[in-house]
Structure formats: structure tokens, C-alpha cells
Amino acid sequence: MARRNRNEDLLDRLINNFSFRGTLLHPGTLFVLVTGLTIAGALNLWQRYQHRLIPADQYQLTEDRVRITPAPEWAQIDLKRLLLEVPVGQEAPNILDTDVVARTAATLRSVGWVANVNQVKKSADGLDIDVRYRVPVGIVELNQSTVPGWDQSKTAQVMPVDGSGMVMPAEVVQHVQPPRISVFNPQTLNLIRPWTVWQDARVVDAAAIMNQIGSRAKQLGIYRVMTMRSSRQMSASQIPFELWPEHKGGTKVLWGNAPGKEVPGEASASVKLEALMRFVAQHGSLEEMPSRRVDLRSGKIVITKDAHVAEKDNMFGGLK
């Protein structure tokens, strides 16, 4: 009990001796305040008068002073030009600007073609910028087989999407031909705009699968990823996504669910992909194999029934 009283007496003395005025005028506190004000004032003066102290053109950003990850040939974007554009009434970007890194990163993040800004680094020589560009992993098919009431006289359309299901400009398909994504009656067609995510979970899931497979699709003989899930069954995990070759012959693969959405007992996307690659290495691409269907959901190749039998009740039987 006596020890507790001593602790309380000590706390009371500390509180009674506390003085806001004394703390404010303490040498340590004054040193921190003066140092902070000095640094803030120096930064403000430098920001306002740096161009008078150093020739403006000496550190002005130019094309040769901006080094950035080259864009794919099919990407219709010149990021250097975008970064060097000078709005009316503003000065040209300068390496010495204290916010040049943050401003550059913000500008790049606003560009649809840019998936991620990995790094913006400045030096006396300029800016070194590392970005990752969006890549189309699939093209959504819009035709009489996938869209009810499609005008047969109307040309079929394809809309490219990246691995997150974000819609990319249709012109991309003139340069690259990733596998097709086939879902019946894709939702929110009237809301589809470049650089917006397609609001249909089946499209997003199919894009995630193709993003996992990536550039291996051609080697594996994958021409199309599709599912028999309807718009009312978007989350029906028991209805798997399938990987198809280009023609009706060949082997079709029951892939399962999108990466991260596997059900209990279903293998991960990486395990399934490794198993499929081993299978193709032994037997040839899906296009070259016999007409059959294999189940990949367990992470092992399990041969099921003949593909032609399954096609009879498949809503996509009309696809070429």
C-alpha cells in the first residue's frame, strides 16, 4: 500500500511541475521549432527563386532527359510527349521542381495504357521511369451466338480486355490476337467504354484465367475460354470455365474457376497450368490432340467424355 502511495505522489509531482510555457521555452523545443521553420523557409525560397539562381534551360526536362519503359508497338500513346506538354500559363517541367516525381507519377497513373507506375527516379540527368503497360489477354466475342437478338446482318464484334477485365480500345485487335472470351449474353453492353472494367463477373473471371496462362496460350493451342454460366449464375462455381482449341476437333479442357476463386478440392491456377503444360508437352497442343474432353480441376489430367457428345447441349455449339 505504501509503494502505491509513493507512485501516486511521484505522478502528482510530475503533473504539478508540468508547465506548458516552460516546455515551449525549453531549449530542445526551441531548437526543433527553429530548425523546422528554417527548412520550410528554405524550401519555399528555393521553390520561388530557383530559376533565377540557375539557368532555366540547364535542368529543364526534354525528350532526351526522360527515359521511360518503351510502350508496345500497338499502344497508341507517347508518354514522353504527354509528360512534356506545358499547359497554358505554366512553366515547363524542371528537374529541380520538388514535386516533379509525384506529379509525373500522378500523370502516368491517369493514362489508361499504364497498368502500374513501378518507379519514378530523378537525377541531374533527368527522369528514369519504369512503368508496366496494360496487355490484352482476351477479346470478348459479340455475335449471334453470344448475344440474344443479335442482328445477323451486323458484323461480329470483339472487345479486348486486360487481365483485370478492363476494356481496351477495339483497335488493339488489329495488332494482337489473344484468345477469345465467350460468355452468353454479356451484361452491361451499353456501358462498355475503353478504360472501364467490364461489369460482368464472368468476363472478369475469364480474363483472370487468361492472364494466368499469358503468352503460353498459343503454344498450348488455346483459342477460346468460355463458360456455360448464365447471367443469373455468375457466381455458380460448380459450372466450370473451359479452354477450347480453335476448331471443333481437338481436346477441350475443363479448367474450373478463376484464380483465387477455387472451391475446396480444386487445385490452384498455377498447379493446373503446370499440369496442362506437361500434358501438352507429351501429346501436342489442344488443337492437335484427339477430339475429347479432359478435366483439369484437380490439378491432374482426367479424361472424361467425347467432346462431340458434350457439344450437343452446349449453348456455344454454333461458335466456329
Please report the domains of the chain, with CATH numbers, ordered by start residue.
2-53 (no CATH), 56-133 (3.10.20), 138-311 (no CATH)
Q: Tell me the mean pLDDT in the region 251-278.
A: 96
Q: Which of 281, 237, 244 shows the shortest CA–CA distance to 259? A: 237
Mean pLDDT of the chain: 83
Q: At 215, list the grid cell.
A: 503468352
In the block, residue with C-alpha cell 455449339? 317
User: 259-274 b/e with 16+ CB inside 10 Å = b?
Assistant: beebeeebbebeebbe
pLDDT at 133: 95
Q: Please, which pLDDT band fits residue 304 given cuts at 50, 70 and 90?
A: confident
pLDDT tens track for 174-189: 888 899 999 999 988 8
Q: H-type helices in the chain, by residue range?
A: 2-17, 20-24, 27-53, 79-84, 100-109, 201-213, 216-220, 269-283, 307-311
In the block, residue with C-alpha cell 521549432? 33
Distance CA 264, CA 266 (A): 6
pLDDT at 159: 92
- In sequence order, the β-bridge partners of residue 114 are 133
Q: Tell me the mean pLDDT in the region 118-122.
A: 94
Q: At 219, list the grid cell.
A: 503454344
Q: Mean pLDDT check: name the lowest of 51-55, 117-121, 201-205.
A: 51-55
Q: Report whether pLDDT(311) > 50.
A: no
Contact 92, 61 (CB under 8 A): yes
Q: Report whether pLDDT(313) > 50.
A: no
Q: Tell me the mean pLDDT in the region 13-35.
A: 57
pLDDT tens track for 184-214: 999 888 888 999 999 999 999 999 999 999 9
pLDDT at 232: 83
Highest-confidence segment of 24-38, 51-65, 214-228, 232-246: 214-228
Q: Tell me the mean pLDDT in the region 117-136.
A: 93
Contacts of 81 (CB under 8 A, 6+ apart): none
| Own/partner long-range contacts of 311-319 (Cβ < 8 Å, ≥24 apart) | 311/248, 314/228, 315/184, 315/228, 316/145, 316/146, 316/182, 316/184, 316/226, 316/228, 318/144, 318/145, 319/141, 319/145, 319/182, 319/224, 319/226
Q: Report whether pLDDT(165) > 80.
A: yes
Q: Please, which pLDDT band fits residue 49 given cuts at 50, 70 and 90?
A: low
Contact 71, 79 (CB under 8 A): yes
% of the chain exceeding 70 in pLDDT: 77
**Inter-CA distances, 31 with 27, 28, 107, Å:** 6, 5, 39
Q: Mean pLDDT check: name the lowest of 32-41, 80-89, 221-230, 239-248.
A: 32-41
Q: Please, which pLDDT band fits residue 102 given cuts at 50, 70 and 90?
A: very high
Q: Report whether pLDDT(312) > 50.
A: no
pTM (predicted TM-score): 0.76
End-to-end CA distance of the chain: 89
Q: Report whether pLDDT(306) > 70.
A: no
In the block, residue with C-alpha cell 533565377? 52
Higher pLDDT, 302 or 10: 302
